[in-house]
Amino acid sequence: MAQITISHLQKRYDNVEVLRHINLTIADGEFVVLVGPSGCGKSTLLRTIAGLELATAGDIHIGSRLMNQVAPKDRDISMVFQSYALYPHMTVARNMGFSLEVQKRPKAEIEAAVNKAAEILGLTALLHRRPKELSGGQRQRVAMGRAIVREPQVFLFDEPLSNLDAQLRGQMRIEIKSLHQKMRNTIVYVTHDQVEAMTLADRIVVLNHGVIQQVGTPLELYDTPANKFVAGFIGSPAMNFISGTLEESEHGPLLRIGADLSLAIDPTISGLQSGAQVIYGVRPEAIVLSTPDTPGAIPLDITLIEPTGLSELIHGTYGAERLSVYSMVRSGAAPGDRIWISIDTTRVQLFAADSQQRLTKAGE
Ligand code: ADP
């Protein structure tokens, strides 16, 4: 069993609290991604699980074993870093088997372990090459092979794809995910890239300033973010936020945005109080291009258009608000033009302006 249990974990450097009261259970075989902006403490959390950093307070168990005082090499983990640091003078096979060589394992056993890992990673034909004869992606695969041959209970990945170009990152993401599907080891993976987190994880842990903001499956975080930080961090292009004041009307609650504009609000949202300042969260795909005579249509003054061929991301302003619209229809518009947009008000999320927490709907 390689369940990881982290209880009341704290980490302080001098007066700086880097991790605050972290409680997290990672199930055996689960792929968990730690994500958050630079400096939020994700590498520190990973390195504390690895034993490369000592916790200031709290406990870490792997399986039923308390790890606080256990040396990294005795934790039955393998770590893959951003820099793959292969030995340049050794072949791929020897790089991969070197940790077993150090442990003085029998030659035949090392060869079998290397061959098995090479087969999983598609490296069999490259076993006799040296690192300089490999591409960046192949080198990263060798670094993973080196981790696999030890058959650890837990894999820890620290931004392993950051050094690769965008296309290779996409390929390696697929390889890591299919590797996990084959091997089913427990994986804890650190990245600042929320797309990587969304595509790889069984569950994502969002950190900010050393505090866990939310833990959930990728779609739970996308559809029901706990607060404005998670809502803005998860999803690309990012969610739009529009500030306004709650009002009661004969048709139900409304969000007053400007003198001549208000938007409907789902009346089943809890804690709606007339006069309260709230933030309307709208994903770019919940906005459609419309016409000036459509009720609730908003004028958008275009500042920039990003065409991808398949879609268009239109950026613009409405008063002081900056909005992005994801359109599968080509607008034919240009910067400086005014277009009209409508918000699908059934797909909106509301956040309290003071606490930044999401106001939940009935049945949640
Ligand atoms: P992340 O991986 O999310 O970018 P880190 O875990 O590397 O963040 O760092 C979290 C915070 O801890 C940062 O503010 C960083 O400056 C600080 N930090 C990391 N290591 C040390 C250290 N050895 N001494 C002092 N502060 C540190």
Ligand 1 atom showing the smallest separation from residue 43 Cα:
2
Nearest protein Cα to ligand 1, atom 2: 43
* Cα–chain center distance at 134: 29
Q: For 76-112, how does the pLDDT look when each residue is reduced to its tens digit (9 = 90+)? A: 999 988 877 899 999 999 999 999 999 999 999 999 9
Check if 210 has its Cβ closer than 6 Å to any atom of ligand 1: no
To test the pocket of ligand 1, the residue of 14, 18, 19 to mutate (highest count of ligand atoms within 8 Å of its CB) is 18
- Residue 114: Cβ-neighbour burial (10 angstroms; 0-12, 13-18, 19+): buried
Nearest protein Cα to ligand 1, atom 19: 44
Ligand 1 atom showing the smallest separation from residue 13 Cα:
25
Q: What is the reported pLDDT for 222?
A: 96
Q: How confident is the model at residue 195 (pLDDT cuts 50, 70, 90)?
A: very high
CATH 3.30.2130.30 fits 240-352, yes or no: no
Nearest protein Cα to ligand 1, atom 7: 43
- Nearest Cα residue to 10 out of 50, 45, 40: 45
Nearest protein Cα to ligand 1, atom 21: 13
CATH, domain range 4-224: 3.40.50.300
Check if 43 has its Cβ closer than 6 Å to any atom of ligand 1: yes
Q: Give yes or no for residue 25 having a pLDDT over 90.
A: yes
**117 and 180 in contact (C-beta within 8 Å)?**
no
- Residue reference for tokens 């192949």: 138
Give the Å distance between the CA of 225 and the centre of ligand 1: 26
What average pLDDT does the structure give for the chain?
A: 93
Nearest protein Cα to ligand 1, atom 23: 13
Q: What is the reported pLDDT for 175?
A: 84
Give the Å distance between the CA of 70 and the centre of ligand 1: 22
Ligand 1 atom showing the smallest separation from residue 44 Cα:
6
Structural domain boundaries in the chain: 4-224, 240-352
Distance in angstroms (rounded) separating the CA atoms of residues 136 and 268: 52
Check if 15 has its Cβ closer than 6 Å to any atom of ligand 1: no
Q: What is the reported pLDDT for 1?
A: 62
Q: For 143-172, how does the pLDDT look when each residue is reduced to its tens digit (9 = 90+)? A: 989 998 988 989 999 998 887 788 888 888
Distance in angstroms (rounded) separating the CA atoms of residues 37 and 207: 8
Distance in angstroms (rounded) separating the CA atoms of residues 140 and 143: 5
Nearest protein Cα to ligand 1, atom 16: 39
Q: What is the reported pLDDT for 354?
A: 94
**Could you tell me which residues are beta bridge partners of residue 307?**
312
Q: What is the reported pLDDT for 106?
A: 96
4 or 262, higher pLDDT: 4
Q: What is the pTM of this model?
A: 0.92
Give the Å distance between the CA of 192 and the centre of ligand 1: 14
Give the Å distance between the CA of 40 and the centre of ligand 1: 8
- Residue 97: Cβ-neighbour burial (10 angstroms; 0-12, 13-18, 19+): buried
Q: For 114-154, how does the pLDDT look when each residue is reduced to its tens digit (9 = 90+)? A: 999 998 888 999 999 999 999 888 998 899 899 989 889 89
Q: For 221-254, how does the pLDDT look when each residue is reduced to its tens digit (9 = 90+)? A: 999 999 999 999 999 999 999 999 999 988 888 9
